[in-house]
Amino acid sequence: MDHRKSIQNRLDFIEENLKAQITAAELSERAGYSLFHYYRLFQPAVGMPVMQYILRRRLLHAIYEIHGGRKRIDVILEYGFETYAGFYKAFRREFGCTPSVYLKKRRARRPCKPNLYQEEHMTISHKKASEILAHWNLEKEPVSDIYYEGSGEKADSAFYAGSGFVLKFSADLDKVKKAAALSRLIENAGLQAASPVAAADGGEYVQDSGLFFYVTRRLSGTPLLSHGFFEGDYAAKARFAGEMIGQLHLVLCKVDTCVNDVNLYETVRDWAMPRAKDILPLPEPFRREYLETFGKLYGSLPRQIIHRDPHPGNIIVSQDKWGFIDFELSERNLRIYDPCYAALAVLSECFDVNRRDALDKWLEIYRNIIWGYDSVVKLTAEEKRALPYVVIANQLVCVAWFSGQDKYEDIFETNKRMTQWLISGFDELNI
């Protein structure tokens, strides 16, 4: 039986009454369950006990308001903490760092109301993560959150376990198996990849509370940073990124494993463009020409298994080696999707329509990523013609998907503005 509706109603109630006294007994009574049964339903659906969840939401809202400039003593009293010392202690216990360190690591934004129907991953506490790590005999390793460099966003489905491991989880077992298979194949080909570590029982993953957990080794090196592409010799950095994606594709084109087969043209024509039409001002002449030309080109464009999410943070570089992480989204698609995606990821983290100098520089970054890729994987004439269409396809898919995700409102707005700007300068995307 699906209890999400009942639990979601209680999550909405909690969110609207965070500054009031809320008890588990009150929530269970409102839901029509015994207290014991309510606890049994709540934790598997949300990922933590009900009172810990309420505390976590209060802490997140309080730190957001403190960061916004309100007096901290007023905020913590409103959210039920008697002293700042009590708030500080609870915050450090829940998030594994002090409030000031937390704000330095991540971008402060209003906590989004949880939606069980939109989010694949549940909230996993550090305590729960430590319990899971016991299956790998890593329960003594300190658990810490992962923050993406540049954006400050917290990873929704991964933790660091000490300095050498990463604990990841997903509700989709196929994603877990796909990431494991591809990582092993890439590692066997001589590139760095975060392949899974066997658990104590010899398995690659552990199932718990409807999620599949697995551990990988943490790759040595540092991720590329989007803002770093705009500094120094940006052309050389961009070409290097393009070459790395090309080298990855040389390996992936020889891989034979089960992945989703995606028709990008049909996805845009039948889903993304109709949905984006209500969000973006798509001139009818542009829409007709786009679909007609892209449709004619599509059948001639090379397809293979691609990374699908090669943003700079997923490219790890050290002094003598480099590699990729996060193959959970890999699919069979147009091969030029990946270099286009990488260029757009750089733009999305630095986009400002009023900074023409930065936008002009990004166009050079985009061209050099493509040139670097072309130097390793020779592009066909049809692929070169299709590049602007694949860039826009990528953006239409992003806008359509993010439009239905409340927690990514900022990313949705950025990608909407990006798409409008890219369409207005469509011809500049030609190589």
Spell out a b/e string for 253-283, using b for 16 or more CB atoms within 10 Å of the CB, else e: eeeeeebeebebbebbbeebbebbeeebebe
pLDDT of residue 39: 84
137 exposure class (CB count in 10 Å sphere: 0-12, 13-18, 19+): exposed
CB 363 within 8 A of CB 410: no
The model's pLDDT over 266-309, given as tens digits with 9 standing for 90+, comes to: 999 999 999 988 888 888 999 999 999 999 999 999 999 999 99
Q: How confident is the model at residue 107 (pLDDT cuts 50, 70, 90)?
A: low
Q: What is the mean pLDDT of residues 212-225?
A: 90
Q: What is the pTM (predicted TM-score) of this model?
A: 0.78
The model's pLDDT over 144-199, given as tens digits with 9 standing for 90+, comes to: 888 776 556 678 789 999 999 999 998 888 889 988 889 988 888 888 888 899 99
Interatomic CA distance for residues 249 and 307, integer angstroms: 8
28 CB neighbour count, 10 Å cutoff: 20
Does position 119 have pLDDT exceeding 70, yes or no?
A: no
Percent of the chain with pLDDT over 70: 96
Percent of the chain with pLDDT over 90: 53
Does position 333 have pLDDT exceeding 80, yes or no?
A: yes
pLDDT of residue 125: 80
Interatomic CA distance for residues 92 and 85, integer angstroms: 11
